[in-house]
Amino acid sequence: MADHSAPAAAPADLVSLHEAEVVAWLKQHPDLLLRHPDLCDILQPPERRSGDNVVDLQRFMVQRLQGALARASNVGNELLDASRQNLSATQRVHAAVLMLLEAGNFEHMIHMATQDWTDLLEVDVISLCVEGDPERMQEIATGGVVILPNGAIDTLLGALPALARDQTEAAEWLYGPAASLVRSDALARLDFGPTAPQAMLALGSREADKFQPNQGTELLQFLAGVLGRSVRAWLDLPQP
């Protein structure tokens, strides 16, 4: 049976709208599809070009999809690279901790942390910084251990447990003769116990973007925590 029902009425503002007017409006607003990309899903494109005056919407939509696919691929590659870098950093930190457990004495452990760790952690210089009077503590200021004036660590870190800095000009009092090499670094508090002076682990790199302010410092804090506990154990210092 034939359907004699009346077609749905067009909106009042579209009753007098003609194709020529739509075409004219589109010519005045060529960015319509950029502002409303969802229209690509409902418009019917021509299958091929039929003349110089015909725009190939099918090619436009294919190029748009190719662009979206390329962007998604780039994001995926960036995430994959970041995952690989995080895994590599985690493995290096774990290896550094295992190395520390093999120390035969306190001096050997300090040498590992300030000398051997540089290659393992892929940095150029490591300093174990302790606040105090330089004259009274001069005997420990050797082999990567440096004495900082009281309050220096709070000045550098503020209330943070760790901090990464890029494009920095390192101070000689922090890295000694190697300071001229350092272009970025990472700093982390060391906890030697309630009766010990404030201390800090500093890792410096000649690469200006090796460490960046927006990167996480959880692995660095973990490494500093292990080093602090090792120092307390070797020196039999009170626990925090």
Among candidates 90, 81, 113, 89, which has minimal Cα distance to 100?
113
Question: Chunked in runs of 10, what are the mean pLDDT values of the chain (240 residues)?
Answer: 47 62 84 74 60 58 68 66 71 93 91 94 93 67 78 93 88 86 94 91 93 90 95 85
What's the CA gap between 156 and 175, in Å, rounded? 14
pLDDT at 1: 45
CATH of the domain at 169: 3.30.450.40
pLDDT at 45: 60
pLDDT at 153: 94
Claim to verify: residue 132 and residue 79 sit in the same structural domain? no
Claim to verify: residue 96 and residue 163 sit in the same structural domain? no
Strand order in the sheet with 145-148: 145-148, 125-131, 199-205, 184-190, 162-165
Domain presence at residue 13: no
Count other Cβ atoms within 10 Å, centred on residue 211.
Answer: 24
Per the listing, tokens 């209330």 go with: 159
Domain presence at residue 191: yes
pLDDT at 99: 94
Domain presence at residue 174: yes
Backbone φ, ψ for residue 191 (5° rounding) = -110, 105
pLDDT at 12: 47
Task: Quick: pLDDT tens for 159-192.
Answer: 999 999 998 877 888 888 888 899 999 999 999 9
Claim to verify: residue 129 and residue 77 sit in the same structural domain? no
Q: What is the residue-wise DSSP string for 66-92? A: HHHHHHHHHHHHHHHHHHHHHHHHHHH
Task: Provide the domain limits for residue 149.
Answer: 105-235
pLDDT at 154: 94
pLDDT at 113: 94
- How many domains is the chain built from? 2
Task: Quick: pLDDT tens for 45-61.
Answer: 655 555 555 556 666 66
Claim to verify: residue 188 and residue 74 sit in the same structural domain? no
pLDDT at 139: 55
* pTM for the whole structure: 0.65
pLDDT at 209: 87
